[in-house]
A and B are shown apart, each in its own frame.
Chain A
Amino acid sequence: AQSVTQLDSQVPVFEEAPVELRCNYSSSVSVYLFWYVQYPNQGLQLLLKYLSGSTLVKGINGFEAEFNKSQTSFHLRKPSVHISDTAEYFCAVSDQGAQKLVFGQGTRLTINP
């Protein structure tokens, strides 16, 4: 069965500092990987996705993530964060060709001025 582990429940960083949000997954088959963001009082919005091809994927708002198959990781990074990046970030996985997404427990990113 698939599972997703987000290693940090909360990550506080200062504005303009770099950030990495960690995500590890387990699956017995090939997967698609996603990061979703949830701003306060809003729904889940897709940040970026890995389906195939280049292991470094770029998303919206300056975020990027790298798929590492050997380490079964898909960490999210941003070189310089802004106050507006304050949100909850969810890593998710699905088997290729499957519909169901399995989510991690989320990481709350807090940006301090």
Chain B
Amino acid sequence: EPEVTQTPSHQVTQMGQEVILRCVPISNHLYFYWYRQILGQKVEFLVSFYNNEISEKSEIFDDQFSVERPDGSNFTLKIRSTKLEDSAMYFCASSPGVTGELFFGEGSRLTVL
């Protein structure tokens, strides 16, 4: 069964460093997303991406964040200068259409020291 894959599963970084989280969405899906879950808190929407551009972003998704689909398979989230409060589990998701049925990866845990 097709699935969304994410790498790395866990990354530890120093505050101020750049981090790139990678995702391979399901191949025939058209919509791509990043969500995050800070420990003990809700799963929060960060950004959605369609047709090679951001279609919606939350207020969390400020200038230090960027997304890219550099080739036909990968979807990346870059955090330019990490802060302690960026420590969270980051989930990538994809969907075939706009019915909200998202398929999630297993997440990338980011720890900022």
Contact = CB atoms under 8 A, between A and B. Distances in A.
Interface of A: 32, 34, 36, 41-46, 49, 51, 90, 92, 94, 97-106
Given A99-B33, A99-B98, A43 B56 contact: no
A105 B55 CA distance: 25
Given A43-B4, A43-B91, A43-B106, A105 B101 contact: no
Contact of A43 (B41, B42, B95, B105): B105
Given A99-B33, A99-B50, A105-B41, A44 B99 contact: no
How big is chain B's contact interface, by range?
20 to 34
A97 B97 CA distance: 9
A45 B41 contact: no
A44 B95 CA distance: 13
Given A34-B100, A97-B98, A99-B31, A44 B43 contact: yes
B65 interface: no
A50 B101 CA distance: 10
Contacts of A99: 31, 33, 48, 50, 55-56, 95, 98, 100
Interface string B75-113: 000000000000000010101001111111111000000
A97 B93 CA distance: 17
Contacts of A34: 100-101
A37 to B, nearest CB: 11
Contacts of B104: 36, 43-45
Interface string B30-66: 0101010000011111001010000110100000000
B101 A104 contact: no
Given A42-B106, A44-B102, 14 more contacts: A32-B100, A41-B106, A45-B104, A99-B50, A99-B56, A99-B95, A100-B45, A100-B48, A101-B45, A101-B100, A101-B102, A102-B45, A103-B44, A106-B43
